[in-house]
Chain A
């Protein structure tokens, strides 16, 4: 069953077409990747799915319901949570209070919300930092905090916007199993990611966005060999040059 389906979404900012007739489907229980060169419109597509921006055309369906006109906070209540590419901590609050804001969505009492916050912090590896101010966290810590806050809302669909960007290889190695564990707990994930090693490792299905259009979709390996995808990243004619070099190499 498809949990989220984006159909024929176009988003224009004045004369700029950020997303052009993009469609994608996220199956329940999957980890789906959204990749593409810088400026392709990935984050704009997230903004449209989470309700921060209204699409110019097209519809968003969540659990078979049309949610195109539903405001952001109601989508969160329905079960869509997002993280931000540029981290947005509540800088004046402690880590525990940051996560508790997310937990309050489904828990009215402060004690309940804090208990959920502790639990979520343990899942993402922030339990040692609970009482620190959010502003004192490292980049990796802030990325985990983004993840923890979103997770604390008890989502069905988690939109992860480059949670691995800016992390070093060992930090990435630490957090990949965390993301997989979240999916195994029943949360469907749609992730924007540039770290291909992680995309290959985690995603069952990948969509490639370039200049606002979906130019390829499929399994990660298949997508990486797609001519259009290689050209979108490396420039026109790159695919042909690469394959001829590979062919030439084979002769020698």
Chain B
């Protein structure tokens, strides 16, 4: 991998990682952790939706699975929190593979695939809300026991750095995918599946690998959510809110780009916070801002913020040359 690809990642890491050194306000750190968790979930969506062109409306299925797996393994089976976190990621990847196998093997594409993923997430939500293992509607509390070996820290700054480390790891993973054979084949499937198959691309295998990776990454976001808030219930874990967040951030930031999901998540939640502060206590005002931003993005920047920046840079470059 070339330095040129890693430089923006390094810059983003330093920029965000330095914030807790200068700011200690809990609201700011809370905002950072939450935004990074959303960014991580969005990065998962971006692998399947941005690069693979398979638009999922149900990434809550993976977020929730990661969250519940991490919580249940700790509370009911007494497994170490770090191990539970890793197993949560594995569970998300497995659920991704299963949903992918069921839908891609039957040739579901486009809006049909989107609807099936939405249905899976909703079924999981209803099951989690009813089942005893998940604590039903009351949800699950992870016992407060602040020790590093329990993946619990008294300092919020540590959580910022852990979330950032995960986001950066996935940025590097995504940059690697962009330059790999798997990535080329995944993008080919997005652009034209028939033509890709004629060129020897095993479309089913490529899509299954993408959805498993995607599920694993989004599950990591869910598991991290549990470690940070120490509580999960069906509406948080499998609610449509996270499915929407996971797809909105990459679309606004730039789907199918390495930095798109992070840029999108920061923009969305930054704007959400600003609107909340300006508009005062109007409930749901940040969601209005999200909606307005989505309309603006679809109308004027269909390739997201990253795409817009690239176009502007190309235009300036041409203008400078002339």
State whether B181 touches A113 (Cβ < 8 A).
yes
- When A73-B202, A88-B192 are in contact, do A110 and B197 touch as well, CB less than 8 Å? no
Contacts of B179 in A (CB 8 A): 110
Selected interface stretch from B23-31, B183-191, B258-266? B183-191
Which residue of chain A is the closest to B181 with respect to CB atoms? A104
- Contact call B192/A153, Cβ cutoff below 8 A: no
Contacting residue for A101 out of B194, B199, B202, CB 8 A = B199
- Residues from chain B with a CB closer than 8 A to the CB of A81 are 198-199
B184, A89: Cβ atoms closer than 8 Å: no
With A88-B194, A90-B188 as known contacts, state yes or no: A73 contacts B181, CB within 8 Å. no
| Stretch binding the partner chain, chosen from A91-99, A162-170, A220-228, A242-250 | A91-99
User: B residues within 8 A CB of A100?
Assistant: 184
Interface residue count on the A side (C-beta < 8 Å): 30
Does B83 sit at the interface, judged by CB under 8 A?
no
Q: How far is the CB of A160 from chain B (nearest CB, A)?
A: 12
CB distance from B197 to the nearest CB of A (A): 5
Indicate if B321 sits at the interface (CB-CB under 8 A): no
Hey, what's the 0/1 contact readout for B198-210 against A, CB within 8 Å counting as 1? 1111110000000
The answer to whether residues A76 and B199 also contact, given A89-B192, A90-B191, A101-B188 and a CB cut-off of 8 A, is: yes
A30 interface residue (CB < 8 Å to B): no
B277 within 8 A of A: no
Q: A76 contacts B192, CB within 8 Å?
A: no
Inter-subunit contact A73/B201 (CB<8 Å) = yes
Contact of A72 among B187, B188, B198 (CB under 8 A): B198
The reply to whether the CB of A150 lies closer than 8 angstroms to some CB of chain B is yes
In the complex, the chain A residue whose C-beta lies closest to that of B194 is A88
A152: B residues at CB distance < 8 A? 199
Interfacial chain A residues near B279, Cβ < 8 Å: none
Distance A109 CA – B191 CA, assembled complex (angstroms): 21
- Interface residue from B184, B195, B197 paired with A104 (Cβ < 8 Å): B184
Question: Which A positions have Cβ atoms within 8 angstroms of B?
Answer: 50, 52, 72-73, 76-77, 81-82, 84, 88-93, 97, 100-102, 104-105, 107-110, 113, 149-150, 152-153
**Chain A to chain B contacts (Cβ below 8 Å), 7 pairs:** A76-B197, A88-B195, A89-B191, A90-B187, A90-B188, A108-B181, A109-B181
Top 8 closest pairs, chain A to chain B, by CB: A76-B200, A90-B191, A105-B200, A88-B195, A101-B188, A72-B197, A102-B199, A104-B181
